[in-house]
Amino acid sequence: MRNLLLPLSESVRLSLRAGDEVTLSGDLYTGRDAAHKLMVQALEKGEPLPFPLNGETIYYTGPTPAKPGQIIGSCGPTSSYRMDPYSPILMKHGLKVMIGKGPRSEAFRRSLVENRAVYLDVTGGIGALLSQRVKAMELIAYPWLESEAIYRLRIENFPAIVAYDSAGNDVFTF
């Protein structure tokens, strides 16, 4: 198990291999397909993004509302294939780490290698447990999307597996 600090340095990111078990600590952003679509539209119009993508991490989750005394509600991963139309564009603008669940398209995997990025997989169904790894949460953009808005999360020891590495290796074919 490798304990990694976000944002990942290029050398750490490039050293990751499919199948590596990692824990992540630091800041990441949330975003699902609706937020991805809005970010791509902003890029197409030459408008600024809600946060700089360069070297950043996006976790595909739509957190449920927090109960009193909680930072966040359940925050399990969503099926990642829904971001496939948008992810290559965001990677070209600097996004380097994506976290979700399940396999991705061939076009996504090619773009991942081209952009020297990585895709991490998180076990579905453990959103309540993952929420305990979130130490802070801040709304960043698109509040009308509610749970699908973009949030910045500060996480500690957040577990994941490298599903696709920057060299094109694929844990789903092991």
Q: What is the pLDDT of residues 88-133, one digit of tens each?
A: 999 999 999 999 999 999 999 999 999 999 999 999 889 999 999 9
Instruction: Calculate mean pLDDT across residues 16-44.
Output: 98
Rounded-to-integer distance, Cα 93 and Cα 76, Å: 26
Rounded to whole angstroms, the Cα distance separating 93 from 91 reads: 5
- Domains of the chain with CATH codes: 2-173 (3.20.130.10)
pLDDT attached to residue 152: 98
Q: Whole-angstrom Cα distance, residue 43 to residue 59?
A: 20
Give residue 40's pLDDT band: very low, low, confident or very high (50, 70, 90).
Answer: very high
Cβ contacts of 119 within 8 Å, gap of 6 or more:
80, 97, 98, 99, 100, 104, 108, 112, 162, 163, 164
**What's the pTM?**
0.97
pLDDT at 137 over 70: yes
Tokens read off for 87? 């992810």
How far apart are the C-alpha atoms of 134 and 94, rounded to whole Å? Answer: 24
